[in-house]
């Protein structure tokens, strides 16, 4: 009997060509599903130079297909990667494709889904196996957790950052250079420039600790103490929409309904009231600590700890206490 169809991992690239952190988590998750379901787990990296990311991915899964696709060097990658993935899926007949739920993973999942007709279980915060992936996702801003499955025995799953902790496999896997023939029929979008933004940080969705500021921070200068605390904790800086709309901090740092959804181990909220539009982006954090002058702020109802006080007094005191502890 032929082996049951395999589980594929989309190996996403970080901007520097290395493997994106989310893919190490997706690969770890896929490996546990493969063990539970008796399925082979295969990574796929499609890039102008797939070798660095493929080699890294092979530390997590037993086999990685590395597809060299020169067009991604100067074109938007998702449409190209999605087409190549769909062609590979057609040829190799895996059952499932698991990708990150960030912008890249979503774009690729959308293209592959349209080309294959495969359904997508989105934004998994946990995946178990019961004759196929069973996905839990947090909906309505964390008010409910739903459990979903695919109706057929194939499909795509997108996984949120921090759903699992990345763990390498017992032994390094193999990297197999793989060719995919055929013309790229979808229009390619040219990248005419890549611009580094000043102060761009690691994606906040991946951060283990987030220190976030809201309207109470008062202005761009106020964010200095937020940044200092984030640095002292080894975390990332987040913000509310009010702070972003005021131009105090870039949109990439925004958490909430129209920003990022995050699930860090610690969310330290400074001067954030906790309005529903923000709450939906962060309430599944492991631990929430808030500093707010207003004891009636909504965040006081769902934080684990709330310090009632002036953030400009409490935050520096926190910095001092953290530094004293670090010795």
Partner 1 sequence: MRIVVLVKPVPDTASGGERLRPDDWRLDRPAVPAVVNANDEYALEAALKLTEAHGGEVVLVSMAGPGAPDTMRKALAMGAASGSLVTDDALAGSDTVSTARVLAGMLKDTEYDLVLAGADTSDGGAGVVPAGVATLLGLPYLSYAAKIEPDPDAGTVRVNRISPTGYEVLEAPMPALIVATQALGEPRYPSLKGIMAARSKTLETKTLADVPVADVPVGGAVATSEVIGSEAPPPRAATRVIREPADEAARQVVAFLAERRII
Under rule CB under 8 A, which residues in 55-114 are in contact with partner 1?
76, 78-79, 82, 101, 103, 106-111, 113-114
Q: Looking at residues 296 to 315 of the shown chain, list those that interact with partner 1 (rule: CB under 8 A).
A: 300-310, 313-314
In this complex, which beta carbon is closest to partner 1, that of residue 36 or of residue 276?
276
DSSP string, 167-183: ---SS--EEEE----S-
In this complex, which beta carbon is closest to partner 1, that of residue 147 or of residue 174?
147
Q: Is the dihedral of CA 177, 180, 183, 188 positive or negative?
A: negative
Among 3, 144, 170, 171, binds partner 1 (CB under 8 A): 144
Question: Least separation, in Å, of the C-beta of 52 and partner 1?
Answer: 16
The length of the chain in residues reads 327
Question: Least separation, in Å, of the C-beta of 50 and partner 1?
Answer: 19
Within 8 A by CB and 6+ apart from 169, the residues are: 31, 59, 60, 61, 62
At 240 the three-state DSSP class reads coil
Site size for partner 1 (CB under 8 A): 101
The DSSP call for residue 157 is E
CA 140 to CA 270: how far, in whole Å? 24
> How would you write 282-318 as a 3-class SS string?
HCCCCEEEEEECCCCCCHHHHCCEEEECCHHHHHHHH
CA 293 to CA 189: how far, in whole Å? 49
Among 73, 93, 145, 177, binds partner 1 (CB under 8 A): 145
Could you tell me which stretch among 26-34, 35-43, 165-173, 184-192 binds partner 1 (CB under 8 A)?
A: 184-192
Among 30, 81, 120, 236, binds partner 1 (CB under 8 A): 120
Question: Least separation, in Å, of the C-beta of 286 and partner 1?
Answer: 8
Residue 137 C-alpha from the chain's centroid: 14
Among 17, 186, 220, 231, binds partner 1 (CB under 8 A): 186
Question: Least separation, in Å, of the C-beta of 155 and partner 1?
Answer: 6
Asked whether the beta carbons of 82 and 141 are under 8 A apart, the reply is: no
Q: Looking at residues 204 to 263 of the shown chain, list those that interact with partner 1 (rule: CB under 8 A).
A: 209, 233, 241, 244-245, 251-252, 254, 257-259, 261
Question: Least separation, in Å, of the C-beta of 48 and partner 1?
Answer: 15
Among 129, 188, 218, 227, binds partner 1 (CB under 8 A): 188
- Does position 18 interact with partner 1 (CB under 8 A)? The reply is no
Q: How far apart are the first and last CA of the chain?
A: 62
At 254 the three-state DSSP class reads strand
């Amino acid at each position: 009997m032929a082996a049951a169809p395999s589980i594929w991992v989309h190996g996403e690239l970080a901007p520097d060509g290395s493997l994106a952190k989310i893919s190490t988590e997706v690969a770890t998750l896929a490996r546990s599903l493969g063990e539970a379901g008796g399925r082979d787990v295969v990574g796929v990296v499609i890039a102008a130079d797939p070798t660095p990311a493929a080699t890294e991915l092979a530390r997590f899964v037993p086999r990685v297909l590395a597809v060299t696709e020169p067009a991604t060097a100067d074109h938007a990658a998702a449409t190209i990667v999605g087409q190549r993935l769909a062609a590979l899926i057609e040829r190799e007949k895996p059952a499932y494709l698991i990708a990150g739920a960030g912008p890249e993973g979503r774009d690729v999942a959308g293209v592959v889904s349209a080309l294959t007709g495969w359904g997508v279980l989105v934004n998994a915060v946990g995946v178990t196996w019961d004759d196929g992936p069973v996905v839990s996702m947090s909906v309505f801003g964390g008010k409910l957790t739903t459990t979903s499955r695919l109706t057929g025995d194939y499909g795509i799953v997108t996984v949120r950052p921090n759903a699992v902790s990345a763990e390498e496999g017992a032994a390094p896997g193999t990297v197999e250079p793989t060719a995919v023939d055929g013309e790229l029929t979808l229009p390619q979008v040219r990248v005419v420039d890549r611009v580094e933004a000043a102060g761009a940080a690691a994606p906040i969705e991946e951060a283990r600790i987030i220190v976030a500021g809201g309207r109470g921070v008062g202005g761009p200068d106020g964010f200095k103490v937020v940044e200092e605390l984030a640095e002292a904790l080894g975390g990332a800086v987040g913000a509310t929409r009010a702070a972003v709309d005021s131009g105090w901090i870039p949109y990439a740092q925004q958490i909430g309904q129209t920003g990022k959804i995050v699930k860090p181990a610690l969310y330290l909220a400074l001067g954030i009231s906790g309005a529903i539009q923000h709450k939906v982006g962060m309430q599944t954090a492991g631990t929430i600590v808030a500093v707010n002058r207003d004891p009636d702020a909504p965040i006081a109802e769902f934080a684990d700890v709330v310090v009632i006080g002036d953030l400009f007094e409490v935050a520096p005191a926190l910095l001092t206490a953290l530094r004293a502890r670090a010795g």
